[in-house]
Amino acid sequence: MFAWSAPATLLLLVTLGCASTEEAGTGLGAASPLTFQQVKAAPDSFKGQSVVFGGEVLTARRMKESTRIEILQLPLDSSGSPGYDLSQSQGRFVAVQKEFLDPATLPYGTRVTVAGELTGTITLPLDETEYLYPVVEAKRLQVWPPADQAIPRGRPYYGPSPYSGPYWNPYWRHWPY
């Protein structure tokens, strides 16, 4: 048997732990060190930093060289998926996807998680006011299934019914042949 020393064991565990994590901001597995509330309060002070935000798509619009997605922010769960409770939202943000993305693939209400870099802010009309949106240049965009597909369903009930049993046969007039 091998006699492992404590420092060697610690080094092995740290090495194995680092091998499985994703680089912050490039994937959805890494949690953002910045909260949406921090970014919303002072968006320009966090310019260039990596974030992971999620929520529901409000609009998606094709621009000249990108697609602009307006998203209602929702807190992320441990899997990186946005929640369903809209009252938990802390505001809105805009994700900019540089590659071609057909807006029809992101209809209203689509749940997404965006990992990317903060590039500043944009002011857009919101009803009868102007709203300051933090802008995230999307490095990765995860689209989640609709709510009715995401919730696990149980098996259908096949228990007794008034139309079951040894004497029930819709073809009773023709039975026995």
Domain encompassing residue 46: 42-145
**Residue 116 belongs to a domain:** yes
pLDDT in tens, 26-37: 445 455 578 999
Question: What average pLDDT does the structure give for the chain?
Answer: 78
Question: Residue 15 domain-assigned?
Answer: no
Structural contact between residues 111 and 97, judged by C-beta atoms closer than 8 angstroms: no
**Model pLDDT for residues 58-117, shown as the tens digit of each residue:** 999 999 999 999 999 999 999 899 999 999 999 999 999 998 899 999 999 999 999 999
For residues 25 and 52, the answer to whether their CB atoms sit within 8 Å is yes
Q: Domain for residue 13, yes or no?
A: no
- 35 in any annotated domain: no
Q: Model-level pTM?
A: 0.67
Q: What is the CATH number of the domain that holds 120?
A: 2.40.50.140
d(CA 122, CA 136): 10
Domain count, the chain: 1
What is the CA angle 154-83-80, rounded to 5?
A: 100
